[in-house]
Amino acid sequence: MARGAKILAFAAALCLILWVVVLAFGAQPLRETDALQVIYGEGEDFFSDAVIYRKVRSDAFALFLLPRARPAYRWWMVDFRNMSITVISSPRSLGSRKYLLRGEPRGTTLDNKARMGDWYWHFTESGAAFSGNGFTCSVRKNKGN
C-alpha cells in the first residue's frame, strides 16, 4: 500500500474512533430533516429559511435554527410528544456535525413567564405555533410525515 493511502486510512480510522468516543460520552447526534416546514418572523418580515434538526433514531422533538431571527430567538426546540416549546442555546458541533449531550440543560420553556415574558402557543395535529415579544413562528408537519 502506498504511503499516501496508509495516511488516508489512518486518518479515516482516527475520525471513526473519535466519533465513537464522542458517542460513548453521551453525545446525541443530530441530523437535518425536511419533515417539518417552519415560517418565522419579527415585525412584518417573515422567512422560511429555517434549518430543522432531529436526533438520529428519534423523532421525539425537533430543533430549529432560525438564521434571520435575533440572537436570543435563533435556536428553538419543539417537543410534540410533551407539547412544550423551549428556546435553547446552539447545540455543540464537531466539524460539520451537530450534537447534544445527555443531561445538558435544555433551555427556557415558554411557560416560564419570569424569564420569557408573555408568550402564546398552541399545538394541533399538523404542527404548532407560538408568538411573543414581536416574534412569531409556525411549525407544520409536511404531508406524509
Secondary structure of residue 54 in the 3-state scheme: strand
Q: DSSP assignment of the chain, as one string?
A: --HHHHHHHHHHHHHHHHHHHHHHTTEEEEEE--SEEEEEEETTEEE---EEEEETT--SEEEEE-TTS-GGGSEEEEETTTTEEEE-PPPEEETTEEEEETT----EETT-HHHH-S-EEEEETTEEEEEETTEEEEEEEPTT-
pLDDT tens series, the chain, 145 aa = 688 888 888 888 887 887 776 666 667 778 888 889 999 998 889 999 999 998 877 777 888 999 999 998 999 999 888 899 999 888 887 777 777 767 665 788 888 878 888 899 999 989 999 999 889 999 998 876 5
Total-model pTM: 0.76
Q: Which three cell numbers stand for residue 88?
A: 435553547
pLDDT at 10: 87
Return the residue matching grid coordinates 415585525: 43
